[in-house]
Structure 1
Amino acid sequence: MARIVFDLDGTLIDSLPDIHAIANAVLAEERAEPLSLEEARGFVGKGAAVFVARMRAARGLADADQERLHAGFVGRYDKAVGRTHPYPGAVAALESLRATGHRLGLCTNKPMSPTRAVLDHLDLARFFDSVLGGDSLAAKKPDPAPLHAVFAALGNGPMIYVGDSEVDAETAVRAGVAFLLFTQGYRKTPVAELPHAAAFEQFDALPGLVAGLLDQSVTA
């Protein structure tokens, strides 16, 4: 059986509405213009600190405000779960993969505390034997160290990474693992321009793609 590690935001869950709301709550305190949903989408991917830095730059707020704004953002993050939901079919796919005997992990740039909060809220924690957040190690994706750490915690077996973004694709390449690309997340680059073993837009296709990769590894 395989070790399968997932990204979280934009892959298993659509958390953008909650992220958008807390960003605009922070900006409202600064009397700054709110972000559009598409602006917020473009800032997601490299963790909360990078999101805040991009948000701050977009609204002309000073570099010196970064720490304070980041604290305000993160302080709201744990409770930002009410608008977040799994993508259609994601839970059923996780159930199928677990039932088949695969070991599942999670590697996200989202800080660990809000990661745990949203996993608990959506009853997703039960699927994962190892979870690493963006503040769990010194390095974040696309550095491959967090992904390597999650795979190591899952034991032995073929390695597959599932994500939605440019960051995830680069992480997989740098880690030297097979990458399955979910195309309905927060990606900005055309699918054809991202390295991937296979792409999918519906989660009911994922178990079959995993089986196909494993068949290829056996016959290679």
Structure 2
Amino acid sequence: MIAPLTPARIVFDLDGTLIDSAPDIHAIANRVLSEEGAAPLGLEEAKSFVGNGAPVFIERMRAARGLAEARQAALLARFVGLYDRAHGLTRPYPGVIAALDALREAGHRLGICTNKPVAPARSVLAHLGLDPYFEIVLGGDSLPTRKPDPAPLMACFEALGTGACLYVGDSEVDGDTALRAGIPFLLFTEGYRKVPVADLPHRACFNAFDTLPGLVADCLSAP
């Protein structure tokens, strides 16, 4: 068991970091588009719209299919209404549960900071049995601002008490959030990132969750 001298506060992004939710997001997006008589999105196209929260996802989806700006509110409401229970196709990435067990056993306190609306975030965590790991879950609608504004991330750390801070995410939004907050960033490279790894500021990167507990220990022991 990895046992640092002082337990840390570790906050995770959700979509593309702990869970691969793109298949469900893709499915409900295409249901909304079908109701509008618009062509469906491809899976990779849907992934490219993820990261800045549901309103921006709908903006990008709407623009890609030439739907009127006046439809934004209605499309968003329909999407969010379906999103709360859209977890049938979502899975944790391999090794996530074992990594969370190891981190918690080492005494670390864990949280979630996501741009996903908080209701579907909590719903999918409960569905996958991940909710007991996290003391705080903040979504894109929990505060007046969302990532890359650092306020939600800092609110998560504050809720977790004291100790060193690490943020784990997969995207440009996550990297920018960590940079603005002045928090070391661990980059999961197998999520929904749109740019090369070298273009994202990060303390370390990893492509498999079985390496994360050791990586955390290395980061915490580094000067």
The 1-side partners of 2:139 and 2:100 are apart by 19
- Which of the residues 174, 183, 195 maps onto 2:180? 174
Q: Does 1:65 align with 2:65?
A: no
2:194 alignment counterpart: 188
Match of 1:129 in 2: 135
Residues 1-220 of structure 1: pairs in structure 2 closer than 5 A = 1-216=7-222, 220=223
AA at the equivalent of 1:116:
R
Structure 1 stretches of 5 or more lacking a match? none
RMSD of the TM alignment (CA)?
0.4
Instruction: Give the number of aligned pairs.
Output: 217
Q: How far apart are the structure 1 equivalents of 2:11 and 2:119?
A: 19
In 1, the alpha carbon distance for the partners of 2:180 and 2:140 equals: 17
Aligned-residue offset at 1:28: 0.1
Unaligned runs of 5+ in 2: 1-6
Distance 1:126 1:56 in 2: 36
CA distance in 2, matches of 1:79, 1:205: 31
TM-score, normalised to structure 2, is 0.97
- Give, in whole Å, the separation in 2 of the partners of 1:49 and 1:95: 33
Percent of aligned pairs sharing the same letter: 68
Question: What displacement does 1:79 show?
Answer: 1.3
Question: Secondary structure of 1:196's match?
Answer: coil
Any idea what SS the aligned residue of 1:17 has?
helix
Shift of 1:94: 0.4
| Offset at residue 78 of structure 1 (A) | 1.0
Task: Give the alignment's TM-score, normalised by structure 1.
Answer: 0.98
Which ranges of 4 or more aligned residues in structure 1 deviate by more than 2 Å? none
Deviation at 1:104, TM superposition (A): 0.3
Letter in 2 for 1:205: T
Q: Distance in 2 between matches of 1:203 and 1:98?
A: 14
Q: Which amino acid aligns with 2:117?
A: P
